[in-house]
Each structure stands twice: as C-alpha cells, then as structure tokens.
A and B are shown apart, each in its own frame.
Chain A
Amino acid sequence: DVKVTQSSRYLVKRTGEKVFLECVQDMDHENMFWYRQDPGLGLRLIYFSYDVKMKEKGDIPEGYSVSREKKERFSLILESASTNQTSMYLCASRRPGHTYEQYFGPGTRLTVT
C-alpha cells in the first residue's frame, strides 16, 4: 500500500521561529512536492524535487526552502515563520512523468501566532 507520511498533523509556532515540516514516502518515487492548501485558492505548489538533491521553485516559493538529502524524505523549511504562512501543508510524491498520479500525505495544519 502506497504511503506518504508527514511528521505532524497539527503545529503551532510563533512568528519568527524556524519551522521544519518533514515528509517521507515509501514508494521509491523520484518526484516529491510541497503544496499549501487554502480555501478558495486550491493547492499551490511551493517547491518540488525531481530527485535527491534536486529542487525547483513552484508558484509560491517566497519564504520557504526545501531539502532532499535522501530519496524518501523531502523537508520544507520556513526560515522565519510569519502569520501569512498559517495554512494546511500537503506533501506528495510521484513516479516521473506527467501522466502519473500524485500520492498525498495527510497534511500538516500549521498555525503561526
């Protein structure tokens, strides 16, 4: 069974803190993705990674960075959290190729106060 896991379901952080969101997949997928999900805006791509140590900016990378040191793990980093980064964060993975489906994690609801 396909599995994408995220380190936390709920997270509360203070403005200015450094925040790490972790994602792990067990499907040996090369491609991994980080999205944020906001009502009315759908899912917006923050960063994606083609393979280990490779990354590309998505539509809204400002204020975020990522790390992919191992194939199964893709981390999203908020260098200095701000209140406008309060959101649901979804991780996904996929085999390479645009016809393949993405498998999503359960999401992390981050609140920045």
Chain B
Amino acid sequence: AQRVTQPEKLLSVFKGAPVELKCNYSYSGSPELFWYVQYSRQRLQLLLRHISRESIKGFTADLNKGETSFHLKKPFAQEEDSAMYYCALSGDAGNMLTFGGGTRLMVKP
C-alpha cells in the first residue's frame, strides 16, 4: 500500500521568510513524487515533480529515499505563494496517485 503524510495542516510565515512544507511517504517500490498546488479559486495544478529535478517559482523538492521524504522548500516566501499544497505519490506498480492531506500555506505581509 502507498501512503503520503503531510503533518502540517496549516503553515503561516511572513513574507521573505524561508518555507518548508513537509511530506513523508511509504511505498515499497520505486515511487514518483509530485507537488500539486491549488491557488484560491483556481484548479489544482502540478507545481513540480521529482523526476524533473527543476525549480518552479523558486520552489525545490528533493527526494530523500533514506528518510522517505519529499519536502518542498523555498528560501524566501512571497504573498502570492499562499495556497493549498498537496504532496502526491505515484507507484510504479499501477496508475493510482495517492495524495497527502494537504498543507495550507499562508504568507503574511
């Protein structure tokens, strides 16, 4: 079975502060990890994925297989980063995508 845990339901930071949204997973095979984001009144969309190893809107995420984590980081938060963030796992054994419970990020001015 595959499982994704996001321990923080809400994360509140000031503009310019560093941000780390935590994501832990359990999966016995070779997973593909994603971060999806939902801005207010917009549809859920992909932010970044492990396989691409890229930085999107200043966010990065590194897969740590030893700690089974895929934390999302940004060195300097912006107000426009305020949104709901979901970590998701896709296992190599099938087509299902398992989502974590989500973390709401609020960036205060």
In the bound complex, residues from chain B placing their C-beta under 8 Å from that of A105 are 43
- Counting chain B CB atoms within 10 Å of each CB, which of A40, A42, A58, A94 scores highest? A42
B5 to chain A, nearest CB (A): 10
Contacts of B45 in A (CB 8 A): 104
A38, chain B: closest CB distance, angstroms = 9
A-contact 0/1 string along B76-109, CB 8 Å cutoff? 0000000000101011101111111110000000
In the complex, how many angstroms separate the beta carbon of A15 from the nearest chain B beta carbon?
Answer: 28
Q: Does B65 contact A (CB under 8 A)?
A: no
Q: A48-B96, A90-B44 are in contact. Are A101 and B49 (CB under 8 A)?
A: yes
Q: Is the CB of A41 within 8 A of B44?
A: no
Task: Compute how far the CA of A39 lies from the CA of B50 in the bound complex, rounded to whole angstroms.
Answer: 25
Contact, CB under 8 Å: B101 / A96: no
* In the bound complex, CA of A99 to CA of B88 (Å): 11
B residues in contact with A40, CB < 8 Å: 9, 101-102
- How many residue pairs link A and B with beta carbons under 8 A? The number is 53
Across-interface contacts of A90 in B (CB, < 8 A):
44
Q: Which residues of B are found within 8 Å of A92, using beta-carbon distances? A: 44
Do residues A96 and B32 form an inter-chain contact, with CB atoms below 8 A? Answer: no
A44 to B100, CA, bound (A): 9
A45-B96, A58-B96 given as contacts; is B91 within 8 A of A98 (CB)?
Answer: yes
* B-side contacts of A104, CB under 8 Å: 43-45
Is A31 at the interface (CB under 8 A from chain B)? Answer: yes
Q: Is A50 an interface residue (CB 8 A)?
A: yes
B17 contacts A by Cβ under 8 Å: no
Instruction: Tell me which residues across on chain B come within 8 A of A33, comparing CB atoms.
Output: 97
Q: Which 10 A-B pairs have the closest CB atoms?
A: A98-B90, A43-B99, A42-B101, A104-B44, A101-B46, A42-B99, A42-B102, A106-B43, A99-B32, A104-B43
Other A-B pairs beyond A42-B101, A96-B95, A98-B94, 20, CB < 8 Å: A31-B95, A33-B97, A40-B102, A42-B4, A42-B99, A43-B44, A43-B86, A43-B99, A44-B99, A48-B95, A48-B96, A58-B96, A90-B44, A94-B95, A98-B91, A101-B34, A104-B43, A104-B45, A105-B43, A107-B43
